[in-house]
C-alpha cells in the first residue's frame, strides 16, 4: 500500500517535471513580424505646411482612440499652438486604426476639427507602439523635415514646452541630436510573466543599446528622418524606445543629456509650480491634473521661485 502511494507520488512529480520542461522549452507563440517601412497608408494627416511655416519643435504624442479627454486637455495646455521666444511649437497625435467604425469616424471628425491627427491603418494596440512611433518619424521624413526638433511623448505626460525650447536654444545643437531620460545599461527582461518580457527569439542579445525612455525624448529632425531611413535594416522589437535605440546604434548617434540636472522624469513627480517650471517632462498625469497644473503655472510668478530653485 505504502509502495503504491510512493509510486503515485513519483508519477505526479514526473508529470509536473515534464510540464515544467515543456513550458520552458517551447518557444513563446509569436509570429515572426517583418517590419516594412511602407506598412499601411496614412488615413489622416495634420493641417500644417512645414515648408511654408516651419515649426521649431513638433510634439508627436502617442494616443489611442479612447483617450479623448487626454487629447482635449493637451490641446488646452502644452499641446496648444504656441510661440516660444519667437519659435513655433505644434503638437500632433499619433493614432492607429480600430475595428470599430464609430471610433474611426470619431477620430476622423476630431482630425477635421483640430487638424492635429496623424493616423495610419495599422492595428491600434499597445504592442504596436513601435509602428506608431515610426509613423511619426515617417511623417517628419516626408512632410516636416523643415522642423528643427521633434519630441516623441505620450498622452499621460506633462511637458514644459517653454523650458524645453529654452534649453534647446541654449544647447545650440541642430543636427545629430538625441536626448531624453538616458537608459545606458538596460537588459532584456526574460521573465515571461512580466509586461515587458522579451523572448530570446525576439531579441537574442543580452544587453540593450543606449536609448531614452519612451515617455519623452527629443531629437533633431534629421535624426528622425534617419531613424525612419534605417528602420527596415534593424531587427524589429515591440519595445518602441529600445527599437529607436537600435536605430541610433546603427546610425552611430549617442543619446546625450540636455542639462546637467535631471529634467525628464519617466516616473511621476509631485507638483509644485516652482519645480515644474524647470523640468521638461513628467509621467502619470491625468487630464484633470494637467489642466490644474497648467493653471497653477500660469498663475505663479517667477519671483516667488527664486529661493526654491
Ligand X SMILES: *[C@@H]1O[C@H](CO)[C@@H](O)[C@H](O)[C@H]1NC(C)=O
Site membership for ligand X, residue 62 (CB under 6 A) = no
- Residue 225 binds ligand X, judged by CB under 6 A: yes
CB of 131 to ligand X, least distance (A): 6
CA separation for the pair 182, 46 (Å, rounded): 30
* Count of CB atoms situated within 10 Å of the CB of 115: 15
Torsion angles phi and psi, residue 97, rounded to 5: -115, 150
Task: Tell which residue, 211, 147, 197, 154, has the closest CA to residue 174.
Answer: 147
C-beta of 157 vs 241, nearer to ligand X = 241
* 172 part of the interface to ligand X, by CB under 6 A: yes
The CB density around residue 29, as the number of other CB atoms within 10 Å, is 5
Is the sign of the CA dihedral 213, 296, 79, 146 positive or negative? negative
- Strand order, beta sheet including 264-265: 157-159, 281-283, 264-265
- 63 or 225, CB closer to ligand X? 225
Please identify, using beta-carbon distances, which residue of 127 and 201 lies nearer to ligand X.
127
Examine residue 221 and tell whether it contacts ligand X (CB under 6 A).
no
DSSP state of 302: G
Beta strands in the chain (DSSP E): 42-44, 57-62, 82-84, 87-97, 117-123, 149-154, 157-159, 178-183, 211-220, 264-265, 281-283
Query: How near is the Cβ of 194 to ligand X at its closest, in Å?
Result: 17
Give least dist CB 259 to ligand X, A: 16
Q: Report the Cα–Cα distance between both ends of the chain, in Å, rounded.
A: 79
Question: Is residue 35 within the footprint of ligand X (CB under 6 A)?
Answer: no
Give the nearer residue to ligand X in terms of CB position, either 170 or 190: 170
Please, what is the minimum distance in Å from the beta carbon of residue 282 to ligand X? 28
Cell 545643437 -> residue: 173
Site for ligand X in 117-146 (CB under 6 A): 122-123, 125, 127-128, 131
Minimum distance from residue 173 beta carbon to ligand X (Å): 8
226 counts as binding ligand X under rule CB under 6 A? yes
Taking the least distance from each CB to ligand X, the nearer of 139 and 293 is: 139
Among 103, 229, 256, 278, binds ligand X (CB under 6 A): 229
Closest distance of CB 135 from ligand X, Å: 11
The yes or no reply on residue 23 touching ligand X (CB under 6 A) is no
Minimum CB separation of residue 148 from ligand X in Å reads: 13
In this complex, which beta carbon is closest to ligand X, that of residue 5 or of residue 195? 195
Selection from 78, 63, 56 nearest residue 135 by Cα: 63
User: Which grid coordinates belong to 300?
Assistant: 505663479
Residues that bind ligand X (CB under 6 A): 122-123, 125, 127-128, 131, 172, 225-226, 229
Amino acid at each position: 500500500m505504502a509502495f503504491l502511494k510512493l509510486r503515485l507520488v513519483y508519477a505526479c512529480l514526473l508529470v509536473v517535471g515534464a510540464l515544467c520542461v515543456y513550458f520552458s522549452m517551447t518557444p513563446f507563440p509569436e509570429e515572426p513580424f517583418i517590419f516594412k517601412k511602407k506598412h499601411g497608408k496614412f488615413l489622416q494627416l495634420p493641417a500644417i505646411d512645414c515648408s511654408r511655416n516651419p515649426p521649431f519643435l513638433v510634439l508627436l504624442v502617442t494616443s489611442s482612440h479612447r483617450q479623448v479627454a487626454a487629447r482635449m486637455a493637451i490641446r488646452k495646455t502644452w499641446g496648444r499652438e504656441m510661440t516660444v521666444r519667437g519659435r513655433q511649437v505644434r503638437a500632433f497625435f499619433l493614432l492607429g486604426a480600430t475595428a470599430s467604425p464609430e471610433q474611426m469616424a470619431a477620430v476622423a471628425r476630431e482630425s477635421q476639427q483640430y487638424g492635429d491627427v496623424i493616423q495610419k491603418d495599422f492595428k491600434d494596440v499597445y504592442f504596436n507602439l513601435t509602428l506608431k512611433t515610426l509613423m511619426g518619424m515617417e511623417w517628419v521624413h516626408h512632410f516636416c523635415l523643415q522642423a528643427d526638433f521633434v519630441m516623441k511623448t505620450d498622452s499621460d505626460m506633462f511637458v514644459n514646452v517653454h523650458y524645453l525650447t529654452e534649453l534647446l536654444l541654449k544647447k545650440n545643437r541642430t543636427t545629430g541630436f538625441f536626448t531624453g531620460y538616458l537608459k545606458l545599461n538596460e537588459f532584456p527582461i526574460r521573465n515571461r510573466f512580466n509586461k515587458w518580457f522579451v523572448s530570446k527569439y525576439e531579441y537574442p542579445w543580452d544587453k540593450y543599446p543606449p536609448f531614452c525612455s519612451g515617455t519623452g525624448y527629443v531629437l533633431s529632425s534629421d535624426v528622425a528622418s534617419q531613424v525612419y531611413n534605417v528602420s527596415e535594416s534593424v531587427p524589429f522589437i515591440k519595445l518602441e524606445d529600445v527599437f529607436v535605440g537600435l536605430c541610433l546604434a546603427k546610425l552611430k548617434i549617442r543619446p546625450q543629456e540636455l542639462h546637467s540636472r535631471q529634467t525628464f522624469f519617466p516616473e511621476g513627480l509631485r507638483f509644485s509650480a516652482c519645480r515644474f517650471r524647470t523640468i521638461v517632462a513628467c509621467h502619470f498625469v491625468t487630464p484633470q491634473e494637467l489642466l490644474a497644473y497648467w493653471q497653477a503655472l500660469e498663475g505663479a510668478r517667477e519671483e516667488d521661485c527664486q529661493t526654491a530653485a
